[in-house]
Amino acid sequence: ASLTAGTAAARVNGQGVTLLNAIGALNFTNLGIYNQNSTGLSVGGMGLALSSTAGTVDTVNSTTLSINGSQTDLVLDSVVHSGAGAGVAVTGGLTGIGTGGRALQVGALNVTSASTNGISIGGNVNGLISFGAGSSIAGTAGSAISIGSGTGTLGFTYNGSVSQANNAALLSVAGHNGTITFGAGSTLSATSGTGLQFDNADGTYAFNGTTTLNGGDAGIDILNGSAGSFTFGAGATITS
C-alpha cells in the first residue's frame, strides 16, 4: 500500500496517520506524511505488524514519529522535525520484525529544534534502530539522544551529526543492554550541558567519529553500576 497525507506546501493541520491497537499486518511501499500541530505517524499496540520500504514523515510542532509498544520493520528515507515534541519517540517497548531484528531504519533524520529530544527510546526494546549519514540533530531542549532498552537488547547506530548547545545531555543512556555505535563519519559536539551520560549502561559503546565536548559541564559520566565496554576513537576531545 502507498499512503500520502498532506504535502510540504500544504500540511495536514492535525494528526497525520494514527494506528492504535490494530490487528494484522500492514506494509507500506511508500509513506508521505506532512503535517503540523499533532503527531505525524503514531503507532501503538503489539497486534499490528507494521512495515514500510520507503517514505518521509515531516512534522512541525509535534512529535514526528511516535512508537508505543509495537512490532515494526519501518524503513524510511527521511524523518523531519521542528518545534514542539520530539523527532522520534519510542515508549512502552518495541520489537523489531525485519531482517536481523530491524525495527527502524531512517536514511536521514533532520531535527532543527525540539522541545524535548531528537531521539528518545525507552521501554523494553528488542531490535535494531539506525540513522544514516544524512542525519542531523540540533536545538533540543532535552537530551539530544536518550536511550534505554529496559529488559530488552537494542542495537543502535547513528552516522550523522549531533550538536547540543543547551543545558542538557548530548547523549543520555540509562538502563541499556546491546550496542550503541556512532559511525566513523559521525560528528558529535556539545558546547553546553552535560555531554555523555551513562547510567546502568551494560552494553557496548563505540564512538568512532569526531566527539567534541567543550562547554558547560560537558564531559563523560559513567555511573550507577554501568558494566559496559566503552571505546572512543582518536577524534574524541574534552576541553574546559
pLDDT in single tens digits along all 240 residues of the chain: 999 999 999 999 999 999 999 999 999 999 999 999 999 999 999 999 999 999 999 999 999 999 999 999 999 999 999 999 999 999 999 999 999 999 999 999 999 999 999 999 999 999 999 999 999 999 999 999 999 999 999 999 999 999 999 999 999 999 999 999 999 999 999 999 999 999 999 999 999 999 999 988 999 999 999 999 999 999 999 986
3-state helix, strand, coil in the chain (%, to 5): 0, 60, 40
Identify the pLDDT of residue 216.
Answer: 87
Residue linked to cell 559496559: 228
φ/ψ of residue 173, rounded to 5: -120, 120
**Cβ atoms of 81 and 112 closer than 8 Å:** yes
Read off the amino acid at residue 80.
Answer: V
| Alpha helices (runs of H) in 128-239, residue ranges in sequence order | none
pLDDT at residue 178 in the model: 98
Which residues, in sequence order, are CB contacts of 215 under 8 Å at separation 6+? Answer: 165, 190, 191, 192, 193
Shortest CA distance to 176 belongs to which of 195, 200, 194? 200
On whether the CB atoms of residues 84 and 61 are closer than 8 A, the answer is yes
Closest CA to 86 of 35, 143, 45, 47: 143
pTM of the model: 0.98
Distance CA 124, CA 145 (A): 17
Reduced to 3 states (helix: H, G, I; strand: E, B; else coil), residue 139 is: coil
Q: Which among 143, 92, 78 is positioned nearest to 115, based on CA atoms?
A: 143
pLDDT at 240: 63
The confidence score (pLDDT) of residue 225 equals 92
Per the rule left: phi > 0, alpha: psi between -120 and 50, beta: everything else, 225 is left
